[in-house]
Every structure is written in structure tokens, then in C-alpha cells.
Amino acid sequence: MVLRGCAPEKSIRELVEASDAAGFDALFLSPFAASKLSLVEVRFAFYLANKAFGGRKNISGKRANEALLFLACETNFASAAKKIGASDSSDFVLVAERNVPLSKLKRALGLGKAKRMKLPEWGKKEGSYFSGERGAERMALERIRN
């Protein structure tokens, strides 16, 4: 599930803690970074994160943070958060691995406004491929390279 929201009275750290307390893994991305993603990339990032945890090859202690590392094609959390993470709680994109009712999210995170965001399934066409296919391939190869 992907939604765009704002919580003007909270920091990003407080939003992350509230999502943990509510019991759902969530990524908080910058709207600019999220606008370049496709559903294939988001699903594949969570798939790779779950696979990393299953094989005990995870870098982060949380699945959502591991997915963030894959989406950013980084192995350092600070640079991944700087690259695609939300910097301001007044405008961010929340990505959750599983569907959570919008009313529950708004209540748990204290969101001022939130609406579901539709990402393209495969992304833009780039020659014979789609941007989502290239992004998924880049995610898989980056961890091997590092």
C-alpha cells in the first residue's frame, strides 16, 4: 500500500516509532523519490528484504529498513535515508508491505491528511524494458556488488 500524507506536528522519527507501535512495517519516502518508483520495484524490495532475513544476510534489524536499503541500492542506512527517505513530515509517501485500513493509519500516525497514491505497475517504457524491470535488476545486483 502506498499513500501520501502529512503529519505537521510530528517528526519523521515519531512517525516511524508510531508505525512500529501500530504493528506495521512502513517506509517513509520523499515524494520525489516515490514518483520515480513502480509497484514492481516496491514489491521486489520487500521480497528481497524478506529473503535477506530468511537467509540471515540482512543488514538492518527491521524489514522496512532493509527494503529501504534495497530501494536505494545502498548498504549504508544513512546514505539510503538521505537518498530517498522523507526529510519532512509535512509531505511524505508512506509505503507499507501489507494493506492497512486508511482510517487505522491516520489514527495511529496522527496524519493531518492522507490519500492513497497509485504507482504505475511497471513504470515507464525504456526501449525494450520498463523502468521497474531495470530497478529490480539494479536492486538485486547492488547487494552482490557490495
The CATH number assigned to the domain holding 43 equals: 3.30.2380.10
Number of domains in the chain: 1
pTM score of the predicted model:
0.89
Q: C-alpha distances in angstroms, 81 versus 35, 65, 123, 131, 144?
A: 16, 9, 22, 21, 20
* pLDDT beyond 70 at 99: yes
* pLDDT beyond 90 at 44: yes
Task: Give the Cα separation of 51 and 68 in Å (integer).
Answer: 14
Structural domain boundaries, residue 74:
2-145
pLDDT band with cut points at 50, 70 and 90 for residue 9: confident
* pLDDT beyond 70 at 48: yes
**What pLDDT is recorded for position 112?**
85
* pLDDT beyond 90 at 113: no
